[in-house]
Chains A and B, each alone.
Chain A
């Protein structure tokens, strides 16, 4: 079991109950969509997995470790085992495509030799080998998102989490990104993607977990988006 949430609840400081008694199990190598209306609690769930916030109670187990029990200084190592991408790409504007990806390895003190070997591999995986020396503002939205995908996987995480990765993209470029995500999943990385993109969810025929108002309302192995 890659990810397991047991009776997880989260109440924010203002008293808002964003998640109520959530139970989820995600296996090694699965591709899972997380859907639900705005404000349902999808991003909150992702923040819990990254230990950006802590639950009121319950267990969150990732790669066999209870994340809620991790010490502060262990958090960076948790995050190295989980790649993340966001709706807004979060690339550094003054670094090239290559440098943006390499940066993720530099941060983990990888050797220059490993960096020189690994970065071209992930850039070709997302189809951006030819754009390595361009800056983010010289790329289309889809390309920028694929750079951030490359950065998320360059350290070889076992899990990739994407929070509305196609939220800022038109349908065509969205599919470029989905192809890359699918490719990454085929190579063995577990993928969890929160999204509002109905077409994509319906076409991909993957497991769908639906959340509404902080509770899980549906968990279909080959489901579509729903209503």
Chain B
């Protein structure tokens, strides 16, 4: 196939889109709204994944010891934990140290803790980091089985909740995206049907003068792809703008309060562009192929 043939397809499809403004706009609008929803879900899933990953890499196990252990016993426990498989590092935090850190973290509100120095309610603890966060449950169990341990905590609950959320997000978005996808395909195929109808004379003539099937079909196929492409460009721009301002707003408003931030704009943008362009073009080409098959029996 020759370059000028593609140029011809492109020219003809632009002409049809222009001639058929209302239906073209409706098609672009429907692709756009489908892709907006797809994009919003995508952003949510990306961010929850991002959050989960950040949390996972921060997993550390906190081992609280029963009160009043002698230094020797504490040293023994430390050795025992160090000996466990998967333990990378273990740091001892005395209860005095813990109180001091707590009071520092309160800043100007630290007066709340005044008077507790003599009767520290906190306990001595170890902070254990692992070579692999997935070992956390196993290591936790092993430590729990030791004596003189008050309790063992790690960020398991939050992590699991997050993973649950992403699961439901995925299932929910799949259903909604599927429906919107079908609606857009339908509207595009209807638009192409109108173009085929408007040009049936020309199609008839083309057949008599020896045009091949794909030559007759080319402009219609291009039209669908172009409609899908335009819809995805618009939705990408809207989502990118929205995300940019949202992430800036969150950063400014909640500076320092959030442990984790939104996924960086650039990373989101790349995924968004690739995913939505592919989606848009698939919707467009499906729509045109359906009408071509149904209404263009050459």
Residues of A within 8 A of B (CB): 50, 72-73, 76-80, 84, 90, 92, 103-104, 106-109, 112, 151-152, 155
Indicate whether A50 sits within 8 Å of B208 (C-beta atoms), given known contacts A90-B201, A109-B5. Answer: yes
Name the CB-closest residue of B to A154: B209
Q: Count A-B pairs with CB separation below 8 Å.
A: 48
Give me 18 A-to-B residue pairs in the complex whose CB atoms sit less than 8 angstroms apart, sorted by A's number.
Answer: A50-B208, A73-B212, A76-B207, A76-B210, A76-B213, A76-B215, A77-B210, A79-B208, A80-B209, A84-B208, A90-B201, A103-B209, A108-B209, A109-B1, A109-B2, A109-B5, A151-B209, A155-B209
Tell me the minimal C-beta distance from A85 to chain B in angstroms.
Answer: 9
The answer, among B1, B202, B204, B211, for a CB contact under 8 Å with A76, is B211
How many residues on chain B are close to A (CB under 8 Å)?
A: 18
Contact between B202 and A79, CB atoms less than 8 A apart: no
Given contact pairs A106-B8, A109-B5, A73 touches B205 in the complex (Cβ within 8 A): no
A107-B206 in contact (CB<8A)? yes
| B189-228 vs A, Cβ < 8 Å mask (1 yes, 0 no) | 0000000000001101111111111010000000000000
Task: Give CA–CA (A72, B297) in the complex, Å.
Answer: 12
* Prevailing SS type, chain B contact patch: helix
How many Å lie between the Cα of A223 and that of B105 in the bound state?
Answer: 114
Contact A107 B202 (CB under 8 A): no
Contact A107 B211 (CB under 8 A): yes
In Å, the complex CA distance between A103 and B216 comes to: 12
- By beta carbon, the residue of chain B nearest A80 is B210
Query: Does B4 lie at the interface of the complex (its beta carbon under 8 Å from any beta carbon of A)?
Result: yes
Cα distance A147–B2 in the bound complex, in angstroms = 27
Provide the bound-state CA to CA distance between A108 and B212, in Å: 8
Q: Which residues of B98-156 have CB atoms within 8 Å of chain A's CB atoms? A: none
B205 touching A90, Cβ below 8 Å: yes
The residue in chain A whose Cβ has the minimal distance to the Cβ of B2 is A109
Contacts of B215 in A (CB 8 A): 76, 107, 109
Shortest CB-to-CB span from A155 to chain B, Å, is: 7
Are the C-beta atoms of A73 and B204 separated by less than 8 Å? no
Cβ contacts under 8 Å, B208 to chain A? 50, 79, 84, 90
